[in-house]
């Protein structure tokens, strides 16, 4: 390390410490303190001194020192579509999972309103103890048909679906092999199960096969989990090969279709349709209602014995309230509209191809993306990703960053979600802005210089 680098690093440490000290010593105005009564003096929260709070304070201090605003939890003033309103200003939006533009569709909204009129906003109990409503059964049946499966079951949370289902089906005697890029909910479900967990390098089916070959015989059950369309990278697995491997090693295959339903396949039926696979060859189909289907929640689709077992044993279903009626009705209506208004899918896929080609033409690193709704622009480090997001917002584009620990530090990125509602001009303009601003970020002052040169 050079002398200049050591000085810069020490300056950062000193300035961050000073910022943290200022945060600790900020006090109310003396007059306000005199007027406060004993009843106003609330006890200090037991959570205020947890070590994790120091990390959060550090993040805030670094943001102050660099002048970079928090890119997360941005407050939107209305419905998010290809545009959104932030702070009263309309911006082009590339941070929405509304891939087919069905959120706010008159048909979806009408179905939700009709469900409220008939059932209210809540069923007020679990489906087990409080009974079901027809709106639940209609949605389950529609999801089963969508996947060409015998049965399906909707849960109130997509994340909880993976956690609870994997945690229910697998135990300490079992093996779970996951692609290393799978969603946090899958990782949490695997951890909850207590099973032996092996992460296979992303897309490396030779490594996945080796994990099964070396470990399968020592375990009661085995589960292989992949995503239909990877939410961080926008690529998909080779499903035919995975099916061969699960048969060879007597394993179950689970595919998380959270981002692939409504995106992959000629009719939006997901990766099985995209790759001409018989859906029955996959043991467990998982999906969410919060992306293309313009609602909230998750579901499992598969053979009737699987769904019957989950309906009677899965804590995330048994002990959770049934889906809110307007949410279930909205998802059901969205499934129908997706299949009726097929132009939405065609336009989204064309937009995705346009975005990917334009990004590559400008020398942007798009990783593994196949250009189907999700395309990252890999920046390389978290400060640059956050700064790029901020600069794009200033130019009228809302694009959220994905940074460490969500991704590896050298893989920090902006994720662009391209929908059927985006126009070619919006796509070309944001790509031009991204290329310009990324070059400016990389050629500008370093993170060390930004912190070291900031006055407190």
Catalytic residues: 231, 259, 291
Residue 337: burial class (beta carbons within 10 Å; 0-12, 13-18, 19+): buried
β-strands 175-179, 374-378 pairing: unpaired
What is the C-alpha to C-alpha distance for residues 46 and 427, in angstroms, rounded to an integer?
48
Spatial distance between the Cα atoms of 327 and 412, rounded to a whole number of angstroms: 34
Give the list of residues 6+ apart from residue 159 with CB closer than 8 angstroms, or none.
184, 185, 188, 298
Tokens for 365? 């690193």
Cβ neighbours of residue 306 under 8 Å, at least 6 residues apart? Answer: 151, 283, 284, 300
């Amino acid at each position: 390390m050079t002398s200049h680098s050591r000085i810069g690093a020490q300056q950062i440490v000193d300035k961050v410490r000073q910022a943290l000290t200022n945060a600790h010593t900020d006090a109310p105005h003396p007059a306000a303190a005199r007027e406060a009564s004993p009843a106003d003096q609330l006890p200090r929260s037991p959570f205020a001194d947890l070590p994790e709070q120091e990390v959060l304070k550090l993040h805030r201090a670094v943001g102050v020192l660099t002048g970079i605003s928090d890119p997360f939890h941005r407050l939107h003033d209305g419905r998010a579509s290809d545009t959104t309103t932030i702070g009263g200003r309309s911006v082009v939006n590339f941070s929405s999972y509304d891939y087919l533009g069905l959120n706010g569709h008159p048909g979806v909204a009408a179905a939700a309103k009709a469900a409220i009129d008939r059932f209210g906003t809540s069923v007020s109990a679990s489906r087990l103890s409080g009974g079901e409503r027809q709106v639940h059964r209609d949605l389950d049946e529609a999801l089963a048909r969508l996947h060409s499966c015998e049965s399906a079951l909707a849960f109130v949370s997509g994340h909880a679906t993976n956690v609870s289902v994997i945690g229910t089906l697998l135990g300490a005697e079992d093996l779970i092999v996951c692609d290393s890029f799978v969603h946090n909910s899958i990782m949490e479900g695997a951890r909850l199960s207590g099973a032996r967990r092996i992460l296979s390098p992303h897309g490396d089916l030779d490594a996945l096969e080796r994990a099964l070959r070396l470990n399968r015989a020592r375990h009661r059950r085995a589960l292989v989990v992949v995503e239909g369309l990877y939410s961080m990278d926008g690529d998909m697995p080779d499903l035919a090969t995975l099916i061969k491997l699960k048969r060879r090693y007597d394993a179950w295959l689970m595919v998380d279709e959270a981002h692939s339903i409504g995106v992959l396949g000629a009719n939006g039926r997901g990766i099985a349709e995209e790759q001409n696979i018989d859906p029955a060859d996959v043991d467990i189909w998982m999906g969410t209602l919060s992306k293309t289907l313009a609602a909230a929640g998750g579901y499992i689709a598969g053979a009737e014995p699987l769904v019957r077992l989950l309906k009677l044993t899965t804590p995330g279903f048994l002990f959770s309230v049934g889906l809110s009626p307007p949410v279930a009705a909205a998802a059901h209506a969205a499934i129908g509209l997706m299949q009726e208004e097929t132009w939405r899918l065609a336009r989204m896929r064309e937009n995705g191809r346009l975005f990917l080609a334009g990004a590559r033409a400008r020398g942007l690193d798009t990783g593994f993306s196949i250009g189907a709704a999700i395309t990252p622009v890999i920046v390389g480090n978290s400060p640059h990703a956050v700064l790029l997001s901020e600069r794009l917002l200033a130019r009228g584009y809302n694009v959220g960053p994905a940074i460490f620990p969500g991704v590896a530090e050298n893989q920090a990125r902006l994720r662009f979600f391209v929908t059927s509602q985006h126009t070619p001009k919006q796509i070309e303009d944001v790509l031009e802005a991204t290329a310009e601003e990324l070059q400016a970020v990389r050629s500008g002052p370093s993170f060390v210089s930004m912190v070291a040169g900031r006055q407190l």
